[in-house]
């Protein structure tokens, strides 16, 4: 009887806690390490949230001129912050070059292993994206 009451309380607590559950995924489930990609584009959006930081860039095809908005997944905020990243390290309107791995499902998404900031008047700086697909070789900000 006691186990039933405790179990009921645990279930009730979980239901009351509510909220949107977030699922984590493995790199290999969503991205293909055998399909490396390097893209250069303009940052359009930054989602600095758990479980992963995502940012989006408009990439212009050199041949057709068509612009495609790509999503790039980085590591979680706490790992990026531990390397010196801040919410404002990437800026909307800034040009960046991203190295990483393509999504397995063929969408315009990638897992970023490094991000090269090309700030005006400054030397380009390559930063580690703290992702599970990264090689950990890029510099820290």
10 in a structural domain: no
In a domain, 5, yes or no: no
Specify if 133 maps to a domain.
no
Please check whether residue 94 lies inside any domain of the structure: yes
Question: Count of domains in the chain?
Answer: 1
Examine residue 56 and state whether it is found in any structural domain, yes or no: yes
Q: Is residue 20 part of a domain?
A: no
pLDDT for 68-100, tens place per residue? 999 999 999 999 998 889 999 999 999 999 999
Q: Is 112 left (phi over 0), alpha (psi -120 to 50) or beta?
A: beta
Q: For residues 129 and 79, give the distance between their C-alpha atoms in angstroms, rounded to a whole number.
A: 9
Whether residue 72 lies inside any domain: the answer is: yes
Q: Average pLDDT for residues 4-20, to the nearest whole number? A: 47
Q: What count of other Cβ atoms lies within 10 Å of the Cβ of residue 18?
A: 7
pTM of the complete model: 0.74
Q: Is residue 100 part of a domain?
A: yes
pLDDT attached to residue 141: 41
Per-residue pLDDT tens digits for 46-63:
999 999 999 999 999 999
CATH number of the domain encompassing residue 90: 2.40.50.140
Burial label, 54 (beta-carbon count in 10 A; 0-12, 13-18, 19+): middle
Tell me which residue range forms the domain holding 89: 25-128
């Amino acid at each position: 009887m006691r186990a039933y009451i405790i179990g009921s309380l645990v279930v009730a607590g979980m239901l009351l806690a509510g909220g949107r559950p977030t699922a984590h995924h493995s790199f290999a489930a969503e991205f293909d390490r055998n399909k490396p990609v390097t893209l250069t584009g303009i940052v359009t959006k930054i989602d600095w949230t758990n479980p992963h930081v995502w940012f989006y860039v408009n990439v212009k095809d050199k041949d057709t001129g068509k612009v495609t908005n790509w999503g790039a997944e980085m590591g979680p905020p706490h790992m990026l912050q531990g390397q010196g990243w801040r919410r404002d390290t990437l800026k909307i309107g800034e040009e960046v070059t991203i190295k990483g791995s393509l999504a397995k499902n063929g969408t315009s998404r990638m897992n970023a292993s490094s991000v090269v900031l090309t700030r005006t008047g400054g030397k380009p700086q390559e930063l580690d994206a703290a992702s599970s697909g990264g090689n950990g070789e890029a510099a820290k900000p």
